[in-house]
Amino acid sequence: MKRMLLPMLLFAAVIMTGCAYEYVEEDGYRMAVINEGFPVPKNAYELKPEDCTTEIAKSAKYKLKGIGDEEGTPPEDYLEEIQSWGWTELEEKRVGHVHYFEKEGKIMSLIIQKNVFDVFEMSDGLEL
């Protein structure tokens, strides 16, 4: 019986880990690590972010299965959640799968790819 316990525990751990990082609206949202006022899905796994540049003040990268499709289209309910937190999408500035949002003079950029997304806080005074 003891011989079976360890393989069963390992199998259960692998199954639970594989399911933990998938986009499900019902799991809710939390604050992004770079901006407390910008939501990210609660079960998104943080990865090593991209380097900052003169245009980007802060960055965060997340892995989350099902967050975007091949074209980088985010789930509509995620965009609605961002707006419910007070952010306005700058739709005229959207380029492909790069979305820009503004709130109280801050501009955030959201780049959605298949199973990965980046959140950038743009530098103050940046003209888009």
Quickly count: other Cβ atoms within 10 Å of residue 68's Cβ. Answer: 20
Structure tokens at 14: 């692998």
Residue 50: the pLDDT is: 77
Residue 84: the pLDDT is 97
Q: Higher-confidence residue: 43 or 126?
A: 43
Cβ-in-10-Å burial (0-12, 13-18, 19+) of 90 comes to middle
85 vs 77: CA distance, rounded Å: 12
pLDDT in tens, 17-26: 444 566 766 6
The mean-pLDDT minimum among 1-5, 50-54, 82-86 falls in 1-5
The domain segmentation of the chain, as residue ranges, is: 2-122
* In contact, 111 and 49? CB cutoff 8 Å: no
Instruction: Please report the pLDDT score of residue 18 as a whole number.
Output: 45
For the chain, how many helices (H) and strands (E)?
A: 2, 8
